[in-house]
Chain A
């Protein structure tokens, strides 16, 4: 326990195992709410949150927004393309403006690592990091861990492979920080140019061969590959990337029989994941989205103050 005492959620790095468990435990009854016919609960009535996205996103932003709405918080989306950011307003001024409008919580995504930390230092409002550069994407890792725990009944000592562009991936980093706290063996696999320097010091094993990396794993988390990486010369072609790293049904045979396949979305079918795998029986990709709403409800609920009883009753 103790997550509810934090002002901000900036990264998994800072969280204890107990705090992660607290969030995941709280998300369980939240998921039940999502199954109800009438999903709205009054818990956060009178609280206001704003999502501020300096990078494109559909699912994360929508997920936060609907999570807030189900809990009866007032949610506003600041769309960067139409706000005064275009007029050259500094981030600090934008944040100050939102603060004096009376928001209780801000969800921020930014292409520059550390920006949520900078924002959190400069405002009294609670801040949730919805993805900063190549640093962290804590709510994604939490929903991934929720999805894994739900199916595997535990997070402890699992073998998890993360496939693709590890270098630029905040999803990979947050997953690494979270899963290693539960004793998982985390393996990262991708082309040498997309494996960050000294990654083993994060407590993971790194591989170039997909087959080797997948041997005996419980979970495969496939990352989205961005086309612009190829344009920057990090790998020769998308075709070659797919040849080496696209997850296909035959790869799953290397893993444990009950292996789970995750993907943070949006998917490039036929590039990093084949449709057979994405739509196959091992895939929990769609359920991840549902779990994302539940986990974000749990986080909003804990951060904006409610008690567990309120939810259950």
Chain B
């Protein structure tokens, strides 16, 4: 099967391309990129006035399967990804059972192959059952296809275990994705500590709870020479630590979520638990620093931290509610608002969703090079739409963006040469 994507504005930051081009796809590969490509017997896609980008990659997704299929499963989660413009997602291991062994990882890969519509790359746990005490069988997880290790959802509290994990993971060049949180400081916290936690009377989580662990993991990365990736950076103090570490040449990368880039702790005053997320929505000052860091190269990628929950986990008292935001289907539109506001360049934004995350995990993805898998995301930058969670493909309707209007939405998602999402509908 051949696809000819005609007349779109092709943005391929890795190759410094930003111009109107055609792309020819044959079977699952990109075979040609150029002007006025002519080909017979192919499906023509008119991409005029659209942005044609390498397939977007989200390296921080909770698919919840196995164990929490009532929140999300691989069938629904990969459809949410496709609808959100992502062709590749990495799923976190905090499932039940935890993805800390070959069987669970194999199961996820099989489910993704049989039921998924986008590429699913599993992340293995760092410690057995994510208990922070004993390392998982890292060599085995590497062999079965894990692209990284993480105990995401909780920190590795013991510095010695984190050190051993980094040293061991280094043998396989596996990045360790760190959820940075000092639990003694964040305990029972519901929102960012600051003026608004005082004003709303909720227990705060100080930025220091994140910053302390970021500092520790930077020091451990330096000690071990291993690659540490800091998940969901939310505090400006963390960014400053990361910036200095990068200047020093320490192997540190980091990601930031769409919600930490666009929302502040002020909105918690609705006591709507959809605003409850960990790390919490921070102050206006933090958000400004995060946005500036996007164009300064301190932030390596955008990741949604897609954390779908069932209704009951959010429709309750604030402190009884689960942490997390269902983010796959709003990530593109929400972060593209920063492009429209002139806060970040279009090409930088595409890079943060493509080559950026690919480089963090060392994936052979994120470009439109000839011969590459035909993973392509096409965006309509002018489409205006309100966020309507009832229309989500994800089972998780928990989003603080509900009802908000955004401009710039995914229009078509092509994974391995097959159209999996087109004009609002899943095609698989």
A binding-site residues for B, Cβ under 8 Å = 90-92, 110, 112-115, 117-118, 132-136, 170, 173, 196-199, 201-202
Is there a chain A Cβ closer than 8 Å to B204's Cβ? yes
A-contact bits for B247-268, CB 8 A (1 contact / 0 none): 0000000000000000000000
User: A91-B317, A110-B317, A202-B198 in contact; A118/B271 too (CB < 8 A)?
Assistant: yes
Contact of A114 among B198, B204, B271 (CB under 8 A): B271
User: A114-B202, A132-B201, A134-B202 in contact; A198/B318 too (CB < 8 A)?
Assistant: no
Q: What are 13 A-B interface contacts by the 8 Å CB criterion?
A: A91-B316, A91-B317, A92-B315, A113-B200, A114-B200, A115-B271, A117-B270, A118-B271, A132-B201, A134-B203, A170-B201, A197-B194, A197-B204
The residues in B between 272 and 312 inclusive whose CB is less than 8 angstroms from any CB of A are: 312
Report the nearest B residue to A92, measured CB to CB.
B315
Residues of A near B319 (CB, < 8 A) are 112-113, 133
User: A91-B317, A117-B271, A118-B317 in contact; A135/B202 too (CB < 8 A)?
Assistant: yes
Contact of B271 among A92, A113, A134 (CB under 8 A): A113
Q: Smallest CB–CB gap between B415 and chain A, Å? A: 40
Q: Smallest CB–CB gap between A6 and chain B, Å? A: 18
Q: Contact check, B193 vs A135: say whether CB atoms are below 8 A apart.
A: no
Q: Contact check, B195 vs A135: say whether CB atoms are below 8 A apart.
A: no
Complex-state Cα separation, A115 to B194, whole angstroms = 21
Is there a chain A Cβ closer than 8 Å to B320's Cβ? yes
Not counting A114-B200, A197-B193, A199-B198, a sample of 13 additional A-B residue pairs whose C-beta atoms are within 8 angstroms of each other reads A90-B312, A90-B315, A90-B316, A91-B316, A113-B200, A113-B202, A113-B319, A115-B271, A132-B201, A133-B201, A196-B197, A197-B197, A202-B198
Sorted nearest first, the 3 A-B pairs with minimum C-beta distance are A114-B271, A135-B201, A134-B201
Complex-state Cα separation, A30 to B204, whole angstroms = 40
Report the nearest B residue to A134, measured CB to CB.
B201
Q: Smallest CB–CB gap between A91 and chain B, Å? A: 6
Report the nearest A residue to B192, measured CB to CB.
A197
Q: How many residues of B contact A (CB 8 A)?
A: 21
Q: Contact check, A197 vs B271: say whether CB atoms are below 8 A apart.
A: no
Is there a chain A Cβ closer than 8 Å to B199's Cβ? yes
Residues of A near B198 (CB, < 8 A) are 196-199, 201-202
Q: Smallest CB–CB gap between A89 and chain B, Å? A: 11
Report the nearest B residue to A135, measured CB to CB.
B201
Residues of B near A198 (CB, < 8 A) are 194-195, 198
Complex-state Cα separation, A133 to B190, whole angstroms = 12
Q: Contact check, B317 vs A115: say whether CB atoms are below 8 A apart.
A: yes
Q: Contact check, B201 vs A173: say whether CB atoms are below 8 A apart.
A: yes
Q: Smallest CB–CB gap between B266 and chain A, Å? A: 12
Q: Contact check, B194 vs A92: say whether CB atoms are below 8 A apart.
A: no
Report the nearest A residue to B193, measured CB to CB.
A197
Report the nearest A residue to B206, measured CB to CB.
A197
Report the nearest A residue to B190, measured CB to CB.
A113
Residues of B near A92 (CB, < 8 A) are 315-316
Complex-state Cα separation, A90 to B318, whole angstroms = 13
Complex-state Cα separation, A112 to B276, whole angstroms = 14
Q: Smallest CB–CB gap between A14 and chain B, Å? A: 11
Residues of A near B204 (CB, < 8 A) are 197
Q: Smallest CB–CB gap between B275 and chain A, Å? A: 10
Residues of B near A199 (CB, < 8 A) are 198
Q: Contact check, A112 vs B195: say whether CB atoms are below 8 A apart.
A: no
Q: Contact check, A114 vs B197: say whether CB atoms are below 8 A apart.
A: no
Complex-state Cα separation, A173 to B199, whole angstroms = 8
Q: Contact check, A113 vs B194: say whether CB atoms are below 8 A apart.
A: no
User: A114-B271, A118-B271, A201-B195 in contact; A136/B201 too (CB < 8 A)?
Assistant: yes
A-contact bits for B153-186, CB 8 A (1 contact / 0 none): 0000000000000000000000000000000000
A-contact bits for B384-400, CB 8 A (1 contact / 0 none): 00000000000000000
Report the nearest B residue to A198, measured CB to CB.
B195
Q: Contact check, B199 vs A202: say whether CB atoms are below 8 A apart.
A: yes
Q: Contact check, A113 vs B199: say whether CB atoms are below 8 A apart.
A: no
Contact of A112 among B193, B199, B312, B320 (CB under 8 A): B320
The residues in B between 309 and 343 inclusive whose CB is less than 8 angstroms from any CB of A are: 312, 315-320
Complex-state Cα separation, A134 to B201, whole angstroms = 4
Complex-state Cα separation, A90 to B195, whole angstroms = 31
Q: Contact check, A133 vs B202: say whether CB atoms are below 8 A apart.
A: yes
Q: Contact check, A112 vs B318: say whether CB atoms are below 8 A apart.
A: yes
Report the nearest A residue to B191, measured CB to CB.
A113
Complex-state Cα separation, A251 to B198, whole angstroms = 28
Q: Smallest CB–CB gap between A139 and chain B, Å? A: 16
Complex-state Cα separation, A14 to B11, whole angstroms = 49
Q: Contact check, A113 vs B193: say whether CB atoms are below 8 A apart.
A: no
Residues of A near B203 (CB, < 8 A) are 134
Report the nearest A residue to B198, measured CB to CB.
A196
Q: Contact check, A118 vs B201: say whether CB atoms are below 8 A apart.
A: no
Q: Smallest CB–CB gap between A102 and chain B, Å? A: 24
Complex-state Cα separation, A170 to B198, whole angstroms = 10
